Every structure is written in structure tokens, then in C-alpha cells.
Copies of this chain bind each other. A is one copy, B any other.
């Protein structure tokens, strides 16, 4: 279980095509390579992070990969849920919403 649940949505800007699926797949590859637990939803992905100080380098790595694909501007939306009173986890949250 993790301390932080982080929702991330990556929006490449100025890509000429409205289809973003290939960029989404690149972001997933980065998450997999880093061994992070994540839960993909239709427009956002929730990630478990034990150490929030790694958030910026994770975003940078995703954006560096997108730049290699020709993306020149990226807007990233992030929502961080930091519970100081108990552990947080994707599985626990899914239990709550499905109960």
C-alpha cells in the first residue's frame, strides 16, 4: 500500500491529429518500466506512489518520450491524494466505490 494516489492525464498540444492514443501508450510504457502500480480509466490514470518526490521526474520522463515523438507542448493534469491518517491504495478505493 502506498501513501499517495496520483491521477494523471497527459494532453499533448499542437499535434495536428486529434487522436492521442499513441501518446497514452507511451505514458503507460514509462509507468510499466518504473514498476509502478497503476489503474487506467477512460480519461485519467491513477498511480500509487510511495515517494511523492519522484513525481516530477516521472512527468519529465513521460514528456521527454513524447518530445521524441515530435510533441512540442504537453499539458499534464495531476490530482494528488495525500492521506496522513492512514495508508491509501487503488484496491481500497475500488472496494469503496464498488461496495
Number of copies of this kind of chain in the complex? 4
Chain A 38-63, CB-CB to B under 8 Å as 1, else 0, gives 01111111100001111111011001
A46 nearest CB neighbor, chain B only: B42
For A56, give its contact among B44, B53, B79, B84 (CB under 8 Å).
B53
What total of chain A residues lie within 8 Å of the partner, measured CB to CB? Answer: 56
Whether, in the assembled complex, A74 has its beta carbon less than 8 Å from a beta carbon of chain B, the answer is yes
Q: Which residues of B contact A75 (CB under 8 A)?
A: 11, 75, 79-82
In the complex, what distance in Å separates the CA atom of A34 from the CA atom of B15?
Answer: 32
Inter-subunit contact B18/A83 (CB<8 Å): yes
Whether, in the assembled complex, A72 has its beta carbon less than 8 Å from a beta carbon of chain B, the answer is yes
